[in-house]
Amino acid sequence: MGSSSSNMDHIPDAQHLMQETGFSAAHLVRLYERFDFLDKDDRGELRLDDFEAVSELAMNPIGDRIIRAFFSPGRETVDFPSFVRILAHFRPTDTNRTRNGRNGAQPEPANSRTNKLKFAFQLYDQDRDGKISREELLQVLRAMLEMQVTEEQLQSIAERAIQEADLDLDDTISFDEFKKSLEKVDIEHKMSIRFLE
Amino acid sequence: MAWFTFPADNLLCRCLGISITVWFTLLFVFIIMPAVLGVSFGIRSFYMRTLLKIFEWATLRMELGAKEKNQELYKPYTNGIIAKEPPSSLQQEIQELRGSANSLRSEPEFEMADIFYFCRRGVESIVDDEVTKRFSAQELKSWNLLTRSNYNFRHISLRLTVLWGLGILIRYGVLLPLRVTLAVTGICLLLVLTTLVAFLPNAELRSYLSEKVHLMCYRICVRALTAIITYHNRENKPKNGGICVANHTTPIDVIILANDGCYSLVGQVHGGLMGMVQRAMVKSSSHIWFERSEVKDRHLVAKRLGDHVADKTKQPILVFPEGTCINNTSVMMFKKGSFEIGCTVYPVAIKYDPRFGDAFWNSSKFGMVSYLLRMMSSWAIVCSVWYLPPMNREEGEDAVQFANRVKAAIAAQGGLVDLIWDGGLKRAKVKDVFKEEQQKLYSKVLVGDSEDQMEDKRSEDGTPEGDESSKDPAEGQ
């Protein structure tokens, strides 16, 4: 926390980013390196094709949704702070957080359970209207299964999923319903990536 | 004025004349003659040991200096930025995801939570993936006085800066011109001598002399790069009628191998200087050069290679099955073409020591000429070559399995990571078939097909490691 090496000079707003995301200086340097590496044309920001160059991502059925999650709506490039803020969602949840009640002004950290859930919710809810419609659910299922099941099977899977989760029977899944249906899932562990020191 | 400048001019001319003569004499005696005769004075190994001591000192100074100033020293992580969980199958992961949510399941169904698995894998690969990092130069732990390979260089101490400045002077002022002279000499000699040898009527004499000529010129080129090569297990050197396969890091690989033996090279016909060299080489010994259009025709390629190996008087063919330059930390997928021919394969592992100069050619970053200039202005190129025992295709083994076996042997010997990924991913995108595999696996979880679990083992992504789970515990019936 005290001294920072001058490698941090490359990184815009480093101290602020560290506080906001909870990454340490070493992490930021490493992430900046990775950002720089992905940025093939040295533009200082990432484009769609920079993400698409990652082979393991292209193999992922929902790869393009994950990529789009990095881009704020309406923007076509990702700068380093945005890159880090998204990745901050995947930091392991801090076990010694202060409860929100004590200090209401403090915003929830990016890697809280709720924020992780929000990130996953947005993967389903592409039009960002706060609800997962049947059509959106179908799209995700199609992406994950494509030619492996028939259209009828897809429809029936979607139907069952909505029936299970949709508590207020408005034929869509809101964020709270989403949260409720995933109550028992160990999100802290499954949506976390361990960054090495 | 004239009478004042004239003696100075004269003096300058004479000095220049003398120094050039001295220069060339030294060059001739200490470098070219030994290259021609195949002898070594041991100058290069001495040079290498001295350099190592200086590098260690430099790194130490840098660490001390950084401690004094209380700055964080950037240490490159050689094992990646994130801890990857040990690879478990898609099925296991999804079971775990669901198992925490709902342990009693009458039939497998889609769960909203399933997306977490794919999501996490996706973000992990954005942060660190196995493939793209193979296509850029490796990072070093200690500093070798080349700013191009270290982020840490700042004005840490006067001594270090002076040393670095001295290093630049020596590398660009002394070593580079020396090496360029040698390279030019080597290539000219190659062109001239191979053409001369081609005129000889006697075939035996011709092939004997052409061998000597080739070896000599390659030795000069090796000295032009100050390449310090250690050959291991020379008793396994490739013999006539076989194919030599090696891992590919740089075009210099050819020079390194050809320094120790004569090979027939395979490649595309180029224009310009390369084309001239290619044509000259073909005159005195047989190499296989393809026109651009012929490269696509796999049968033609296979036939020409097959004909060549069938002729036992011809030299072994040198092939790099990866198809592209990889950064020498791993071995990528071998293309099966050369393994289908059915002759003996002589695997060779080449490992470069990155402390003296990174030999990897990042063709998207550097063109050929700037790459060669970088090579010639590094300290040295130090590498080890291991000749592995010859391998043959076994009964019931197809070309792909044979290729993987050879690849594993090379990776094991050279201490490289054995990857199944295709080196062509440097330029091309991943084929959709990989995505389909993932979709197939996931659909099995949903539909719950237990008999295809054997198939899952082979189609699992990335890691050739098989998964242990054979029976799905949550599944009824």
Domain contains B239: yes
CATH of the domain at A86: 1.10.238.10
State whether A77 and A118 are in the same domain: no
Domain contains B454: no
Closest residue in chain A to residue B131, using alpha carbons only: A55
Taking CB atoms and an 8 Å cut-off, how many pairs form between chains A and B? 180
Closest residue in chain A to residue B155, using alpha carbons only: A6
State whether A78 and A132 are in the same domain: no
Q: Taking CA B84 as the corner, what is the angle to CA B81 and CA B86, rounded to the nearest 5 degrees? A: 155
Complex-level ipTM: 0.86
The residue out of A29, A60, A90 marking a domain boundary is: A90
**pLDDT grade for B143, boundaries at 50, 70 and 90:** low
State whether A136 and A170 are in the same domain: yes
pLDDT digit string, tens, across residues B178-215: 888 888 888 888 888 888 888 888 888 888 888 888 88
The residue out of A44, A62, A90 marking a domain boundary is: A90
Number of domains in chain B: 1
On whether any CB of chain B is under 8 Å from the CB of A149, the answer is yes
pLDDT digit string, tens, across residues B399-421: 888 888 899 899 888 888 787 77
On whether any CB of chain B is under 8 Å from the CB of A48, the answer is no
Strands B227-232 and B82-83: unpaired
SS3 call for A48? helix
Domain contains B105: no
For every residue of B73-89, DSSP letters joined together read P----TT-SEEPPPP--
On whether any CB of chain B is under 8 Å from the CB of A7, the answer is yes
**In which domain, by residue range, is B296 found?**
153-426
Domain contains A96: no
A3, A5, A64, A147: best to mutate for the B interface, most B CBs within 10 A: A5
Domain contains B107: no
- Facing residue for A3 by CB, picked from B70, B101, B109: B70
Domain contains A63: yes
Instruction: Extract the tokens encoding B202.
Output: 């006697």
Closest residue in chain A to residue B430, using alpha carbons only: A55
State whether A153 and A114 are in the same domain: yes
State whether A188 and A113 are in the same domain: yes
d(CA B380, CA B394): 41
CA atoms lying within 13 Å on the CB side of residue A152? 0
pLDDT digit string, tens, across residues A32-70: 888 888 887 888 888 888 888 887 788 888 888 888 888
Which spans in B69-127 are helix H? 90-101, 114-127
State whether A133 and A165 are in the same domain: yes
Q: Taking CA A173 as the corner, what is the angle to CA A171 and CA A175, rounded to the nearest 5 degrees? A: 155
Domain contains B393: yes
Neighbouring C-beta atoms of residue A13, cutoff 10 Å: 11
Q: Where are the beta strands (DSSP E) in A17-77?
A: 45-46
Q: Looking at residue B343, what DSSP letter applies?
A: S
Domain contains B436: no
Domain contains A9: no
Q: Are B109 and B474 in contact (CB under 8 A)?
A: no
Q: Indicate whether B5 pLDDT > 80.
A: no
State whether A81 and A27 are in the same domain: yes
Domain contains B469: no
Distance from CA of A12 to the nearest CA of B (A): 18
SS3 call for B319? strand
pLDDT digit string, tens, across residues A119-161: 888 888 888 888 888 888 888 888 888 777 788 888 888 888 8
**pLDDT grade for A100, boundaries at 50, 70 and 90:** very low
- Facing residue for A196 by CB, picked from B83, B110, B125: B83
Domain contains A62: yes
Q: Are B82 and B127 in contact (CB under 8 A)?
A: yes
**In which domain, by residue range, is A82 found?**
14-90
Number of domains in chain A: 2
Domain contains B75: no
